Amino acid sequence: MSDTPSVAPSSPSQAQLDRFAELFNQSLTLRHFGARMSFPEGRKVVVELPEVQPQHRGGLGASAVNGGVLSALFDFAIGCTPALRDPTRRCATVQLSMSFERPATGPHLRVEAVIDNGGPSTVFASAKLMDAEGRVCARCQGVVRVSSQPWASGESPATN
């Protein structure tokens, strides 16, 4: 079987995207991390950390969120952008490039990711991470590989 998927005939419905997010939000991974995903208006991926916890903060008593946590939030968001085209196919982030512009502090964070370009098997996406006041704290560009294989669960990457 070829790993070069065919192009989806049309964009997924909002109901399909909402189902993908619902299943992913129920996964142990996102529940443990405390993050939530959504696809507002089917145009972007939003990952929110609605309540920054002490374990999300950096070392040395800093109030800023740890860079590894920011990286994970970017990976969730960028890695799910292919769902905006076809939520049924497996995909995986293969590259992330992040720029930290200011400390990410405050009670909650939000990442918004969009598709910039790509073809049937590769998506180029970008994202920004904002604090509770809406200030951009970090930016990211990423590459995601899209497979012809469906998700193991049939509907989302949520397997646990």
14-150: CATH topology: Thiol Ester Dehydrase; Chain A (3.10.129)
Cβ atoms of 144 and 82 closer than 8 Å: yes
Q: Per-domain residue ranges for the chain? A: 14-150
| Sign of the torsion angle spanned by Cα atoms 137, 25, 14, 11 | positive
2-42 residue pLDDT tens: 444 444 447 899 999 999 999 989 988 888 889 999 999 89
pTM of the predicted model as reported, rounded to 2 decimal places: 0.88
In this structure, the number of other CB atoms found within 10 A of the CB of residue 51 comes to: 10
| Closest among 82, 83, 55 to 69, alpha carbons compared | 55
